[in-house]
Amino acid sequence: MADSRNFTLYECDDYEVRLEYNMDFMALHLPVVYKWSKSVFLSMAAKTAEIKDFSLGLGYPTLHCAVSENDSKTIKLATKLGFTPLGVSEGLVVFEYKGR
C-alpha cells in the first residue's frame, strides 16, 4: 500500500478533524473534541457529510475511519455520525461512512 499523508482539515474552538489519504483511500480521523454539546455534534455531522462529498468529488469511492477497538466513546461517535463498521483489522474497527 502506498504511503499516506494526513493534515488538519478543520479546526475550531470545539473540535479538530484530520484527513488521511493516499491513492487507495481517504479516511477521516474522528475529531479531537474540546467541548461537547448538541450544536458541536450537529456541526461535526455536517462537516462529515461535506468531507464525504469532497472525497467523492476527488474520485474516492467511499470515506473511511478507523478507531481503536478499545475506544468505546469514539466508536459510539462514529456510529452516531453515520459510519458503519466493516470489521476489525490490527486492533482497529474500520468504518465506512453511510450518512445519517
CATH number at residue 14: 3.40.630.30
Residues 51-71: pLDDT tens digits? 999 999 999 999 999 999 999
Which residues are within 8 A (CB) of 42 and not within 5 positions of it... i.e. 6 or more apart?
A: none
In the prediction, which pLDDT does 99 show? 87
Calpha distance 60→37 (Å, rounded)? 31
If residue 68 lies in a helix (H) or strand (E), which one and from where to where? strand 64-68
pTM of the model: 0.87
Contact 85, 95 (CB under 8 A): yes
* Domain with 68 in it: 5-97
Residues of the chain with pLDDT under 50: 1
Total number of domains constituting the chain: 1
